[in-house]
A and B are shown apart, each in its own frame.
Chain A
Amino acid sequence: MKMKRILLACSSGMSTSLLVTKMQEYAKSIGDEVEIWAVGQDQAKKEMERADVVLIGPQMSFLKGELQKEAEKYGIPVDVIDMMAYGMADGKKAYEQALTLMGEK
């Protein structure tokens, strides 16, 4: 199976870093090969080239349109992290959201 590359973006890259760890743990537990990483908002546009999907933090949702435009260049989906998943720091739910966006679930 192809490696899945998931980029998380939030204003500073701090809160999502913890979510990244939880998503990685969950992906590993079900045997998926993944690269998941978090960046701050300035880096998001530069890094999305390497990603299959971009998830953004709630504090960045006003940038969704802008990021989507950029993501169109690479043909990858962008969405705001599900509120329940984010609020409960739920790695499994966030990972499943990424898979759904990638059309793998």
Chain B
Amino acid sequence: MEKLQLENLTNEQIAFQLILHSGNARSKVIQSLREYRGGKREEAEQLLKEAEADLSVAHHIHFQLVQKEANREKTEFSLLLMHAEDHLMSTLSMKELVKELIELLKERNL
């Protein structure tokens, strides 16, 4: 998936892009577990892979913001940005857990 550059985006759009890509990932992570429950292992793994690709786009946005700040270029703080970061971080941990969970279930042949 194409990495997103922040230069042409407003602060608001940056937050929405974060939520969009994390949000797409979140949906796919949950869908992945549901597919697994329905016996569709390959679909489940495919969805998890796609979720990881979405997350990497979102994480790249986050990374650029952190880099900017490291270069002493402050990003304006807003509740919306905090909310967007929340989306990313909670989806990252959700993805890790679901990935482990699916491995665990596979090992036990469940």
Specify which of A60, A62, A86, A88 lies most central, judged by the most chain B CB atoms within 10 Å of its CB.
A62
Q: Does B36 reach chain A (CB closer than 8 Å)?
A: no
Q: Are B31 and A15 in contact (CB under 8 A)?
A: no
Choose one: B12, B19, B30; the contact of A62 (CB below 8 Å).
B30
Q: Are A62 and B27 in contact (CB under 8 A)?
A: yes
Instruction: For B80, list chain A residues within 8 Å (CB).
Output: 14-15, 18
Question: Nearest-CB distance from A25 to chain B (Å)?
Answer: 14
Residue interface bits B16-42, CB-to-A below 8 A is 1, else 0? 110111111011101100100000000
Q: Does A34 reach chain B (CB closer than 8 Å)?
A: no
Q: Are A86 and B27 in contact (CB under 8 A)?
A: no
Instruction: For chain B, give the interface size range.
Output: 20 to 34
- Main secondary structure on chain A at its contact with chain B? helix
Q: Does B75 reach chain A (CB closer than 8 Å)?
A: no
A59 to B20, CA, bound (A): 7
Instruction: For A89, list chain B residues within 8 Å (CB).
Output: 12-13, 16
Q: Are A59 and B23 in contact (CB under 8 A)?
A: yes
Specify which of B21, B22, B26 lies most central, judged by the most chain A CB atoms within 10 Å of its CB.
B26
Q: Does B84 reach chain A (CB closer than 8 Å)?
A: yes
Residue interface bits B52-88, CB-to-A below 8 A is 1, else 0? 0000000000000000000000000000100110010
Instruction: For A88, list chain B residues within 8 Å (CB).
Output: 9, 13, 16
Question: Nearest-CB distance from B48 to chain A (Å)?
Answer: 13
10 contacts between A and B (CB under 8 A): A10-B23, A11-B23, A14-B83, A15-B83, A18-B80, A57-B19, A59-B23, A59-B24, A83-B20, A87-B16
The chain A residues found within 8 Å of chain B, CB to CB, are: 10-12, 14-15, 18, 57-62, 83, 86-89
**Other than the known A18-B80, A62-B31, what 17 A-B pairs have Cβ atoms closer than 8 Å?**
A11-B23, A15-B83, A18-B12, A57-B23, A58-B23, A59-B26, A59-B27, A59-B87, A59-B91, A60-B23, A61-B24, A62-B26, A86-B16, A86-B19, A87-B13, A88-B16, A89-B16
